[in-house]
Amino acid sequence: MISPLRLMVFTDLDGTLIDHDTYTWDAAQEALEALARVPAAVILASSKTAAEMVGLRAAMGLEDWPAIVENGAGVLSPGALTGADATQYHALRAVLETVPPELRMHFTGFGDVTAEELARITGLPLADAGLAQQRAFSEPGQWTGTDAQQRAFEAHLKDRNVITQQGGRFLTLSFGGNKAIRMGEIIATYQPRHIIALGDAPNDILMLEQAEHAVIVANPHRAPLRPLTNEAEGRVVRTQAAGPAGWNAAILDLLQRLDLT
């Protein structure tokens, strides 16, 4: 750990640091290199599993820092190469099977399909789709019912201590935890001087509102996020460019504003 830590960046992946369609982050490389020079801690915070995150974190050179996995239902420790025990996931799937059939039919979870089918749904390579199914804490899925049916679905799960979070593409079920809770725990451990958070989806809002500086990355595939509580104070910026290109521009601008270049 770098002491004192000048900057910690919490970032969503899909649609934010990673391109929605190509799953690449090349357009953000300049900003990632600038953060490495600060040096800053970059905390990946995603719906991805620990199995998925291990490779991504290594490819980005961020193994020295923890990563928030499965929408905050768990954390991947610095340097860890494997995920967590799947007992909690199996318990979650058991609760899902108590949902009345007329509601259950509208939710297709990652555990309901083959790796080949998940690859088609997500656009992931087959091997990566397999990693996305190695879950420990949560179950993402596609919802195809009406809004009223979704409310009934969520109410049934809530009565059984299962919460739902809407991400950029999927509705995710878990027994609790979110990105903001894990963010708070990590901040308490490292005590950085400055905190930036970047995201694009409803499940990023609490994380964004907890940051000193927040960036809402444009995502043409979904409606813009509602105004944040700290947006009127000028602590929130919205990018013009989508995905990693927007991420790159926002980080470079904030580094200048914070005199960290």
Report, as residue numbers or ranges, the catalytic residues: 12
Distance from chain centroid for Cα 112: 22
* Cis peptide bond N-terminal to 244, omega within 30: no
Contacts (Cβ under 8 Å, ≥6 apart) of 236 = 208, 213, 214, 215, 216, 228, 230
Helix (H) or strand (E) holding 7: strand 7-11
Residue whose entry in the numeric block shows the structure tokens 């091997």: 127
Q: 154: which 2 tokens? A: 């969520």
CB 222 within 8 A of CB 168: yes
Widest Cα–Cα separation across the chain: 56
Q: Could you tell me the sign of the dihedral formed by the alpha carbons of 89, 91, 96, 97, in that order?
A: positive
